[in-house]
Amino acid sequence: MRTRALTRLLIAATAAVSTASFVLAQSKTYKGLEISVAGVERSARAPLSDCPPGTNNQVGNARGADEFAIVTIKVKVLPDFKPFMMARPKATDTSGKVYNTGISFVDVGKEPEYSCAIPFRVPQGTKLKSIQIDSLSLDLP
């Protein structure tokens, strides 16, 4: 009986540590910005607004056997942030192929916190592994 209780406790502790590690790994600090991945969605249509969202309200439509993998990131501007030009994000799939996006980062320090939907046109069913922003890389769920 005592062994069973100890086993349950160890399993629960391991699960909690694994969950905490995943959450901590998804939020990274880069040049005064705290950036995390909120999720990935699939769609035949995607907004092509800049990041942070502004007045650009264009929409992209997938063609043929393509779809959009829309990676949503959350950004928090930290007190030590100094404005800089950020490169367009890129996504990498599980085979190593890199995908570009049409969105740009514009005036990233103007809002203290925001989220951005970053669309990548990919073949249907493509499994994305990570998103890269300059030298920062974030794993995708």
Q: What is the CATH number of the domain that holds 40?
A: 2.60.40
Helix (H, G, I), strand (E, B) or coil at 94: coil
Q: Are 30 and 133 in contact (CB under 8 A)?
A: yes
In a domain, residue 15? The reply is no
Q: Is residue 8 part of a domain?
A: no
Query: Which pLDDT score is estimated for 1?
Result: 53
Task: Give the model's confidence band at 16: pLDDT under 50 very low, under 70 low, under 90 confident, else very high.
Answer: very low
Dump pLDDT digits (tens) for 22-70: 444 479 999 999 999 999 999 999 999 889 987 777 899 999 999 999 9
How do residues 87-114 score in pLDDT, each as one tens digit?
A: 999 999 999 999 999 999 999 999 999 9
34: left (phi over 0), alpha (psi -120 to 50) or beta: beta
Read off the tokens for 29.
Answer: 């600090």
The answer to whether residue 1 is domain-embedded is no
Rounded distance between C-alpha atoms, residue 85 and residue 71, angstroms: 21
Total structural domains within the chain: 1
Q: Is 14 within a domain? A: no
Alpha-helical segments (H) within 71-120:
none
Its pTM surpasses 0.85: no
Asked whether residue 95 is domain-assigned, the answer is yes
- State which residues form the domain around 99: 28-139
